[in-house]
Amino acid sequence: MRNSRLMRSFVFGLLALIACQAYAANPFGIEMPELDDWGAVAHEDAGAGFVFRNSYSVYFFQEVHKYDNPKLGYSLIYASHPGTIITVYVYGDGMESIPDGITSPRVKKQLNSADKALTQSGQYLSVVEETRPDLSFGFLQAFHLIKLKNGAEVKSYTLLRAQNQHFVKVRITGQSFLMEPRVSEFLCHLEIDLGIRAGVQPGAPECREYAPNKSLNTDASDAGAG
């Protein structure tokens, strides 16, 4: 009887140790695909000509959400172990003609609207806009330092461009000091699947040594008017 109790205690202790190790390896409960599936397509938008993969850099696909209002399109959530969340929004806002690129007044208006929604949301103690180096020259960028109601500070980037008659907005929120280079790598891979980077294949090694202005397809379409 005593040996049976000892065995049960040992098994429970072992299970607790395994659970602790699993939590330490993945404290944020990130859904991760099998290694062989990291480059597989997680979501395909045939109408827009976009594909989104299971992982970009250290960020893993979590879910896709389609909004009831067709103008709002859909969003995809990616997350990393350090706790950074990246949400990619693809939408048309009911517009029939959206020039590719970042120079259109429509793109600038969308970014301004996103900034206004963030600063006026009332969800935070403070939202301070600051200038930070571009994470990608393929997107317009805004940066905010946010103080949460528990006193913690987080970094928030909003990036936006037009592609294939859609707006693509990327919202990044996190605290890690390594966030920026990893997000730049994420964006480099994403730009390939959005068709922004000409002649570069998915999984390109150059994304691991990413410079925002490298290999971007900045042809005449990027100078679209409103």
Q: What is the CATH classification number for the domain harbouring 85?
A: 3.40.1000
The pLDDT value recorded for residue 220 is: 34
Based on the number of CB atoms within 10 Å of its own CB, is 138 exposed (0-12), middle (13-18) or buried (19 or more)?
buried
Structure pTM?
0.78
Q: Do 170 and 68 belong to one domain? A: yes
Bridge pairing between strands 140-147 and 126-130 = antiparallel
Q: Do 167 and 96 belong to one domain? A: yes
What is the Cα–Cα distance from 193 to 170, expressed in whole angstroms?
Answer: 14
Q: Do 106 and 142 belong to one domain? A: yes
Bridge partners of 58, per DSSP, are none
Q: Do 11 and 94 belong to one domain? A: no
**Structural domain total, the chain:** 2
Q: Please report the DSSP string for the chain in residue order.
A: -HHHHHHHHHHHHHHHHHHHHHHHHSTT------GGGTTSEEEEETTTTEEEESEETTEEEEEEEE-SSGGG-EEEEEE-TTS-EEEEEEE-TT-S---SBS-SHHHHHHHHHHHHHHHTS--SSEEEEE----S-TTSEEEEEEEE-TTS-EEEEEEEEEEETTEEEEEEEEE--TTHHHHHHHHHHHHHHHHT-STT--TT-GGGGG--TTSS---SGGGB---
Dihedral sign, Cα of residue 209, residue 189, residue 92, residue 75:
negative
Q: Please, which residues have CB within 8 angstroms of residue 64's CB and are 6 or more apart in sequence? A: 42, 43, 52, 74, 75, 76, 77
Q: Which of 84-88, 186-190, 206-210 has the lowest mean pLDDT?
A: 206-210
Per the model's pLDDT, the better-predicted residue between 155 and 21 turns out to be 155
Read off the pLDDT of residues 95-120 as tens digits, 9 standing for 90 and up: 988 999 999 999 999 999 999 999 89
Q: Do 151 and 80 belong to one domain? A: yes
What is the Cα–Cα distance from 187 to 157, expressed in whole angstroms?
Answer: 12
Q: Do 181 and 127 belong to one domain? A: yes
Q: Do 64 and 164 belong to one domain? A: yes
Bridge partners of 65, per DSSP, are 75
Give the structural domain span for 49: 31-222
Q: Do 20 and 69 belong to one domain? A: no
Q: Do 11 and 36 belong to one domain? A: no
Q: Do 98 and 24 belong to one domain? A: no
Q: Do 110 and 22 belong to one domain? A: no
Q: Do 122 and 194 belong to one domain? A: yes
Read off the pLDDT of residues 31-72 as tens digits, 9 standing for 90 and up: 766 656 777 899 999 999 999 999 998 899 999 999 999 999
